[in-house]
Homo-oligomer: A and B are copies of this chain.
Amino acid sequence: MMNKSFRDYLRSKGLKSTHQREVVVDLFLRLDTHCSVEDLYHAAQRKDKRIGYSTVYRTLKLLVEAGLAEERRFSGEVTRFELVHRGKHHDHLICIKCGRIIEFTNDRIEKLQEKVAKKHNFKISDHKYEIYGYCSRCKK
């Protein structure tokens, strides 16, 4: 049930596969929203009352370490975690009214970013492009 890559990651680090981790990881992989620790905690609670907040928190951190999740913190929001889909980097449009998060990719922007970096003799390791505004449903 639990993701193979994650189980492999645990083994490689000498960590243990526990019932709680199974539940949390399983839920995280299913829910394909950008969820907060809070969100996942409640979802996990519905499956098993004994799963604590700290465990959810720690499991999400492990998922990030394992490279399966990414931590995002949008302006004025709590930290959210998203599933990393096969090396495909993407950025976000965030609706400031309803909170909807839309992912986008744009190769031409990435190319221009390279140029900007070169101009400043800067070695890029990561970037974050967030566009805030109103989504199609909220703009009128």
Contacts and interface: CB of A to CB of B under 8 A. Distances in A.
Nearest to A140: B123
B131 A124 contact: yes
Place the interface of chain A in its size category: 20 to 34
A2 interface: no
A129 B128 contact: yes
Contacts of A128: 75, 128-132
Interface in A95-120: 95-96, 102, 104, 106, 108-109, 112-113, 116-117, 119-120
Interface of A: 73, 75, 93, 95-96, 102, 104, 106, 108-109, 112-113, 116-117, 119-136, 139
